[in-house]
Structure 1
Amino acid sequence: MIENFKNIEYLKFGNERQKLAYSEIRRIRILEKLKEYNPILTGTIPIQIDLPESDLDIICHCKDHLDFSSFLQQEFSNHQSFKVYSTTQNEVVCTIAEFKSGKFQFEVFGQNIPTEQQNAYRHMIIENQILMERGIRFKQEIIALKSTGIKTEPAFAKLLGLNGNPYIELLKLADKNSTQ
């Protein structure tokens, strides 16, 4: 079980896709470049429920979206299919850079929220915990649902029998587990 997702060394000992991700992340030095933004790799690759088209999601804590956007442009615009934009999700401003490097699509996601408090990180932590508790069969069922086009959180909600907004319901599970 992975104890610390903030250090990507676990990827070196994972499956082939994780090893490739580790090599690409190190090759382009993305975490070093983003260091001041407290980056964390999140999403499906760290918890081994990714599909071949899954991207590498890196969340960041950015306090100034204009500065962050300029920084992303300066550091990563030389990569294939680079774009940077800002949007609002759940009333929170987000700055996002997308680009391709090696065999991976990257998405760098910044909010003015500490990374460990961002939903992407919180979702990954609870999903990992559920996968550890439920075992390989549950994991295979999640991947099977995802391969039909269902997103990760809705796939978990479906298999867990959660009603309502799957993104919110998973966070409620995380909150419930943290108070026990």
Structure 2
Amino acid sequence: MIDFTKLDYLKSGNERQKRAYEVLQKYQVFEKLKSYSPVLAGTIPLEIDIEGSDLDIICEVDLEFREDFLDDISFSRLIPSDVDVKVENVIINEEKSIVLNFMLEEFPIEIFGQNRSPVQQNAYRHMMAEYRILQEKGEDFKHRIIELKRQGIKTEPAFGLLMELKNPYEDLLKF
């Protein structure tokens, strides 16, 4: 079982995972976000990413202090000054969230923050369910997921199609 709360597994992964590790280390992303308990989620950890897939970093952020979080990121120089950053305040499942999108080298980066531990956030819970399903169903299933993603279908709906789930975002949380 992989410990997805640490980045070490990327060092022995596929080429894209190794490259993601290099970029995250070079910019000290997790070190600079340490006080927000960052976790890499999404498709790259599961090796079901496609070209253009982003590095999804989920964090615990007390949104009452949203400005402090943005200042921390700015002052830590996590994001180089010449990089455009899109910041959105959104409500997801009735919970305030913050989303930052920007590029670091060839990787689109998304930092997602909610006022809860990353391992309790749906992005992590979905990833863990998808990991278990991929382990159980094998390489052919994995390749079918990737092919659906290449056709423009998002990850959870791709799992939903192959597993005949009515509401994949909710149903995956039951695994």
For Structure 1 versus Structure 2, the TM-score category normalised by the shorter chain is over 0.9
Q: Deviations over 1:23-82 (max 9, x none)?
A: 000000000000000000000000000001100000000113232133233332525222
Amino acid at match of 2:109: F
Q: Distance in 1 between matches of 2:98 and 2:68?
A: 10
* 8 A contact 1:77–1:83 mirrored in 2: no
Q: Deviations over 1:4-40 (max 9, x none)?
A: 0011111011111001000000000000000000000
Map residues 23-42 of structure 1 onto 2, 5 A cutoff.
23-42=22-41
Q: Which runs of 5+ in 2 are unaligned?
A: none
Map residues 1-180 of structure 1 onto 2, 5 A cutoff.
1-2=1-2, 4-63=3-62, 64-74=65-75, 75=77, 76=79, 78=81, 80-163=83-166, 165-173=167-175
Q: Distance in 1 between matches of 2:89 and 2:147?
A: 32
Larger deviation, residues 60-69 vs 124-133: 60-69
* 8 A contact 2:32–2:73 mirrored in 1: no
- Report the identity percentage: 48
Normalising by structure 1, we get a TM-score of 0.91
Give the aligned length: 171
Q: Distance in 1 between matches of 2:164 and 2:86?
A: 37
Q: Distance in 2 between matches of 1:48 and 1:61?
A: 25
Q: Which runs of 5+ in 1 are unaligned?
A: 174-180
Q: Deviations over 1:85-141 (max 9, x none)?
A: 211111111111111111101011110011110000000001001000000000000
CA RMSD of aligned residues (A): 1.2
